[in-house]
C-alpha cells in the first residue's frame, strides 16, 4: 500500500534557494532605506493572545471572524498566529515602556498568517515589512512615510505603481459619515450581496471596499466621506497633499479608500499596481491615533504601513541577486585538504563578504572542476602536491577567457580582492543603549 508523501500546508509555501536571493535583495534594500531614515528594528512573537487582535483589528472584520488561526494552549489561553504586525508592535512598546521614551520610529519584518483562499499574491503564510511611528501627530510624518515608500520603488526599479490617498477623519466626523452611509445603503439594500448586508450595521465603511460588481455600482453614488471631515482633519489632509506636491510625488484622491482594519483614522494610503491581477495592493498604511489608548496606554498619535514581500518578488522576476560563490577550492589528497581549509579560513577572515566553497566528498581534479563550473563560481583555486610544497596556489578563471595564474599564499588575499572586486559590507553599530549597557558591565 503506497503512502502519501508529506506536503506543505496549502497556502504556506517554501522559499527555495533559487528565490531566496531575490528575498534577501528586497529585505536588505528596504532595511538600508529604513535605517537611513532613522528607523530601528523591532521583532515581536509570531503568537499573541487572540484578544489583542480582537481589540485592535475589530471583532466585526473578516480577519477576526474568518481568517485568524486561533487555538487554546495547555493553560487554557486562547492564542492566535499574528495576522498583521501593527497590534503586536503596539503591545510591545507598551509592555517594554518604549512608549514613554519619546518618539519611536520602528520597523519589523516577518511572517503573518490568515486563512484565506490561496491565490497568486495572497497566501495563508505571507511575509511583510512594516514600519510604525509613535508620538508624532502632524501630516509631516505621514508624508515622510509615503516619501520613504516611494524611495523603495526607486531602489527596486519598480515603476508600475500608483499612490491612492484619503482621509477617514477623526472618530466624530467618521460617526456622522457612518450614519449618512447607512441611510443611503439601506435604500439600495436589494443590490447588496450577503457580506455587505451583514456589515451594514456593524462595519458599513468596509462596504465601500467591496469587489462585488453590483455593490460597486451602488457605492459609486454613495455619500463622500471628505464632505463630513471637520476642520482639523481637513487641514491635516491638506498638509499631507502640500508636502507630497512639494517633492513631486503624484497621487490619486480616492474617497472610497477605507482600509480593512477598524483602528485607522485620518490619513490612509495604498500603493497599487496593475501587474499582479486581482491582488493589486503592494503597500498600505495610515494613521491609528486611537489604538494605543485602546490597548491600555495613554493617548498617543501613531502612523504606520506594511508591504508584502511575496508581491514584490512577483514584480521583480528578473532580479539576479548575488548568490553564486566567488571561489571554489579544488584539491586532491588528505594533506592538500587540510591546507585548503587553512587557506580558506584565512581568506574568509581577510576578505569580509567573500562567498566560497571548499570541495568536499573527494573526487578527481576533473570531477571537482565540473562541480566548480556548475557552482557558478568566478574562479577556482587549485592546490596540488607541488603547489603545497611551494606555498603557491593556481588561480583558474571560470567565467572569462584568461590565462591561469600562480599566486603565493601571502599574495592570495590581495589578488582575490583585485579580481573579485568585493566591497566590504558596513558593520552593525550598537545602539546608544547597548553601548551604555556594555560600559556599565565593564565597570
Does the residue 21 lie in any domain?
yes
Distances (CA, A) of 404 to 122, 193, 390, 393, 417: 50, 72, 17, 10, 16
Same domain, 63 and 142: yes
Same domain, 30 and 100: yes
Would you tell me how many other CB atoms lie within 10 Å of the CB of residue 105?
Answer: 18
Does the residue 142 lie in any domain?
yes
Same domain, 68 and 146: yes
Does the residue 430 lie in any domain?
no
Output the CA torsion sign for 186, 191, 196, 198.
Answer: positive
Same domain, 114 and 217: no
Q: Which domain holds residue 189?
A: 175-222
Contact at 8 Å (CB) between 127 and 108? no
Pairing between strand 40-41 and 392-397? unpaired
Below-70 pLDDT ranges, the chain:
1-4, 59-62, 260-262, 278-279, 317-322, 423-443
Write out the E strands in 221-372.
Answer: 252-253, 265-272, 281-287, 302-308, 327-331, 356-358
- Grid cell for residue 121: 499574491
CATH number where 73 lies: 3.30.930.10
Angle at 178 between CA 176 and CA 183, to 5 degrees: 105
Does the residue 429 lie in any domain?
no
Angle at 318 between CA 316 and CA 319, to 5 degrees: 70
- Judged by phi (left if over 0) then psi (alpha if -120 to 50, else beta), residue 245 lies in alpha
DSSP structure string for 250-292 = --EE-TT---S-TT-EEEEEEEE-STTTT--EEEEEEE-TTHH
**Which of 139, 149, 132, 48 minimizes the C-alpha distance to 98?**
132
Same domain, 272 and 351: no
Helix (H, G, I), strand (E, B) or coil at 58: coil
- Grid cell for residue 439: 560600559
Burial of 320 (0-12, 13-18, 19+ CB in 10 A): exposed
Same domain, 153 and 192: no
Does the residue 80 lie in any domain?
yes
pTM of the shown model: 0.82
Alpha carbons within 13 angstroms on the beta-carbon side of residue 220 total 8
pLDDT, residue 144, reads 97
Does the residue 379 lie in any domain?
yes
Secondary structure of the chain: what % helix, strand, coil (to 5)? 45, 20, 35
Contacts of 276 (CB under 8 A, 6+ apart): 120, 121, 282, 311, 314, 315
**Which of 411, 351, 415 minimizes the C-alpha distance to 379?**
415
pLDDT, residue 318, reads 63
CATH number where 348 lies: 3.40.50.800
**Which of 64, 68, 106, 110 minimizes the C-alpha distance to 85?**
110
Does the residue 65 lie in any domain?
yes
Same domain, 201 and 342: no
Same domain, 130 and 274: yes
Burial of 442 (0-12, 13-18, 19+ CB in 10 A): exposed
Same domain, 284 and 218: no
Same domain, 253 and 332: no
- What is the distance in angstroms between the CA of the first residue and the CA of the last residue of the chain? 69
Does the residue 439 lie in any domain?
no
CA 437 to chain centre: 30
Same domain, 150 and 76: yes
Q: How many domains does the chain have?
A: 3
Same domain, 218 and 144: no
Amino acid at each position: 500500500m503506497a503512502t502519501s508523501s508529506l506536503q506543505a500546508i496549502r497556502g504556506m509555501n517554501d522559499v527555495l534557494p533559487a528565490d531566496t536571493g531575490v528575498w534577501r535583495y528586497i529585505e536588505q534594500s528596504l532595511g538600508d532605506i529604513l535605517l537611513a531614515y532613522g528607523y530601528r528594528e523591532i521583532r515581536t512573537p509570531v503568537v499573541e493572545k487572540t484578544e489583542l487582535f480582537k481589540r485592535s483589528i475589530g471583532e466585526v472584520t473578516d480577519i477576526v471572524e474568518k481568517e485568524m488561526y486561533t487555538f487554546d494552549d495547555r493553560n487554557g489561553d486562547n492564542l492566535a498566529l499574528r495576522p498583521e504586525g501593527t497590534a503586536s508592535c503596539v503591545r510591545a512598546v507598551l509592555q517594554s515602556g518604549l512608549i514613554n521614551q519619546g518618539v519611536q520610529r520602528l520597523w519589523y519584518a516577518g511572517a503573518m498568517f490568515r486563512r484565506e483562499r490561496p491565490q497568486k499574491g495572497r497566501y495563508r503564510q505571507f511575509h511583510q515589512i512594516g514600519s510604525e511611528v509613535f508620538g508624532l501627530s502632524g501630516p509631516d510624518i505621514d508624508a515622510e512615510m509615503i516619501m520613504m515608500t516611494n524611495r523603495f520603488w526607486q531602489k527596486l526599479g519598480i515603476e508600475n505603481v500608483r499612490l491612492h490617498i484619503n482621509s477617514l477623519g477623526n472618530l466624530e466626523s467618521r460617526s456622522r459619515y457612518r450614519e449618512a452611509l447607512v441611510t443611503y445603503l439601506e435604500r439600495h439594500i436589494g443590490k447588496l450581496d450577503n457580506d455587505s448586508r451583514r456589515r451594514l450595521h456593524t462595519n458599513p465603511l468596509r462596504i465601500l471596499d467591496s469587489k462585488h460588481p453590483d455593490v460597486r455600482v451602488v457605492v459609486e453614488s454613495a455619500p463622500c466621506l471628505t464632505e463630513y471631515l471637520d476642520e482639523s482633519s481637513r487641514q491635516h489632509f491638506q498638509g499631507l497633499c502640500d508636502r507630497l506636491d512639494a517633492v513631486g510625488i503624484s497621487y490619486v484622491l480616492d474617497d472610497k479608500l477605507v482600509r480593512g482594519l477598524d483602528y485607522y483614522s485620518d490619513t490612509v494610503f495604498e500603493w497599487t499596481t496593475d501587474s499582479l491581477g486581482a491582488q493589486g495592493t503592494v503597500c498600505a498604511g495610515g494613521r491609528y491615533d486611537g489604538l494605543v489608548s485602546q490597548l491600555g496606554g495613554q493617548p498617543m498619535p501613531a502612523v504606520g504601513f506594511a508591504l508584502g514581500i511575496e508581491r514584490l518578488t512577483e514584480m521583480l522576476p528578473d532580479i539576479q541577486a548575488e548568490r553564486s560563490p566567488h571561489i571554489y577550492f579544488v584539491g586532491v589528497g588528505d594533506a592538500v585538504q587540510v591546507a585548503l581549509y587553512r587557506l580558506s579560513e584565512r581568506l574568509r577572515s581577510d576578505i569580509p563578504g567573500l562567498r566560497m566553497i571548499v570541495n568536499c566528498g573527494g573526487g578527481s581534479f576533473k570531477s571537482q572542476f565540473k562541480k566548480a563550473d556548475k557552482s557558478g563560481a568566478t574562479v577556482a583555486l587549485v592546490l596540488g602536491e607541488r603547489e603545497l610544497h611551494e606555498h603557491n596556489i593556481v588561480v583558474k578563471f571560470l567565467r572569462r577567457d584568461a590565462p591561469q595564474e600562480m599566486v603565493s599564499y601571502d599574495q592570495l588575499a590581495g589578488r582575490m580582492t583585485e579580481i573579485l572586486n568585493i566591497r566590504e559590507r558596513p558593520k552593525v553599530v550598537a545602539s546608544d543603549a547597548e553601548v551604555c549597557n556594555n560600559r556599565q558591565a565593564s565597570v
